[in-house]
Structure 1
Amino acid sequence: MPEVQIGDLHVEVVRKNIRSLRLTVYAADSRIRVAVPTRTSHADIEQFVKARRAWILKHQANFQARVRPAELQYVSGETHYYQGIQHVLQVHTLDGVPRVVCAPDRTLHLYVRPTDSVQQREKVLTTWYRAQLKQQLPTLIAQWQQVVGVQVQEWGVKQMKTRWGTCNIRAKRIWLNLDLIKRAPHCLEYVVVHELVHLHERLHNARFWGLMDQFMPEWRAYRDQLKVSLGESGGKPDAC
């Protein structure tokens, strides 16, 4: 990805088939990214960034001032999220196949081998999260396809650092971020609807947001909830 130095700011520049310039400052590392129309000149990009320098520095300072959550060790007593609800992790050792059991008392029971490392414990929990999300998505996607009036050819789940979802319009394929299983169900629904609406309208323009208002009037509240960090994971920008 091309990078440019504008004054004292290091900026990633992405050229896309869009109509206007878009500026993003990422919470996780204070990285600056500008998406610009394909033929935008360097001078226009420089002017755009310099005009927003104060806004950029303000957001970088706010992100850097946040208390960073302690790195997870996957030991008993830690807080982990499932469907937007805090669960307490309880680790048990066994000689059989590792697994996770979600109890009604908001406890996640993690069964691992005595010799399993932190990374192996994380993998067991991540595998369980992935299975839960994949179990929920078929019904959710089928329901909202009828509402939105589109049909996807394929969908999948993957870990993404900067997006909650993506849509390949030509292939009619959507991807959902694995971390959505940690969020409230209506946040997951918002991202599903967001990606489905892209099959009607590729751009984030007035028509796109009008369709979002039509299909999911409460989408703004759900989007805002996604912007709030859960504690163990850094905030991400809006879907797409």
Structure 2
Amino acid sequence: MILNISGIPIEVCKKNIKNMHLYVKPPNGNVTVSAPLSMSDEAIERFVRTKVSWIKKQVSKFDNQLRQSEREYVSGETLYVWGKQYYVQTQYGNKNSLVLSGDKAVLTVRKGSTAQQRENFVREWYRELLKAEVARLLPKWEKITGLKAASWQTKYMTTRWGTCNTKTGKIWLNLQLAKKTPECLEYIILHELVHLVEKKHNERFVMLMDKYMPMWREVKTTLNGQTLDYME
């Protein structure tokens, strides 16, 4: 069911849960409500209408992010790495590189390179950064939980921070996690490991998350509230 309130489409999903949950999800600010199976459509709409001001505020944040102009990876732009903002300083050289120094991201590119070529390089730089951190953190969480991923891979995604295949045991992690604070990556790693044994976001899932990371709700809020650096 789709509600349209104050010009904002809101997807309603009824589930076997006890309480209502309202989400404004990155990267586009899509609004979703999870409601108990027994709750009437009228009650759901009344609940959503009490949250309209909050919804508009959150959606506006994502709208502002999406209106950022397309990056050219030139001096003066910004990049986020592990939650910290860096100012791009572009220079020419024979070999592409990206070095963090203080609050600067010194990007060396070949003269005449296009914005797309620079973006491709930066994206692969993020990939290598994320892969190194996942290789360090995944074994840690596998040991803590006793759960093990058969394999893992990084992938640029626009609607999910991570996903998994419960049949094969494979985990995918969003490339953009390298822009977030480190605890956000740990939260998503744990989230996907738990999904290997519990597909749904039900009571068992919540119980396991609470057991292994009591502060996961706060980290989730941080993750969804941090700015998504433009990358298309």
Task: State the alpha-carbon separation in 1 of the partners of residues 130 and 12 from structure 2.
Answer: 33
Task: State the alpha-carbon separation in 1 of the partners of residues 165 and 228 from structure 2.
Answer: 31
Q: Aligned residue pairs: how many?
A: 224
Task: State the alpha-carbon separation in 1 of the partners of residues 212 and 43 from structure 2.
Answer: 34
Identity of aligned residues (%): 33
User: Partner of 2:64: helix, strand, or coil?
Assistant: coil
2:53 to 43, 50, 58: 58
- CA gap 1:121/1:86 in 2 versus in 1, 3 angstroms: same
1:187 and 2:178 correspond: no
**Counterpart mapping for 1:19-38 below 5 A:** 19-20=16-17, 24-26=23-25, 28-33=27-32
Task: State the alpha-carbon separation in 1 of the partners of residues 50 and 95 from structure 2.
Answer: 51
Q: Aligned residue for 2:199?
A: 202
| Coordinate RMSD, CA, aligned | 3.1
Unaligned 5+ segments in structure 1 are: 235-240
Task: State the alpha-carbon separation in 2 of the partners of residues 91 and 190 from structure 1.
Answer: 33
Q: Aligned residue for 1:85?
A: 84
TM-score relative to the length of structure 2:
0.79
Which is worse superposed, 122-131 or 204-213? 204-213
- CA gap 1:226/1:232 in 2 versus in 1, 3 angstroms: same
1:216 and 2:213 correspond: yes
- CA gap 1:31/1:56 in 2 versus in 1, 3 angstroms: farther
TM-score relative to the length of structure 1:
0.77
- CA gap 1:35/1:174 in 2 versus in 1, 3 angstroms: farther
1:172-222 Cα offsets, whole Å, 9 max, x none, are: 111111111111211111111111112232222222222222212222222
User: Partner of 2:98: helix, strand, or coil?
Assistant: strand
1:156 to 150, 153, 156: 153
1:117 and 2:114 correspond: yes
Unaligned 5+ segments in structure 2 are: none
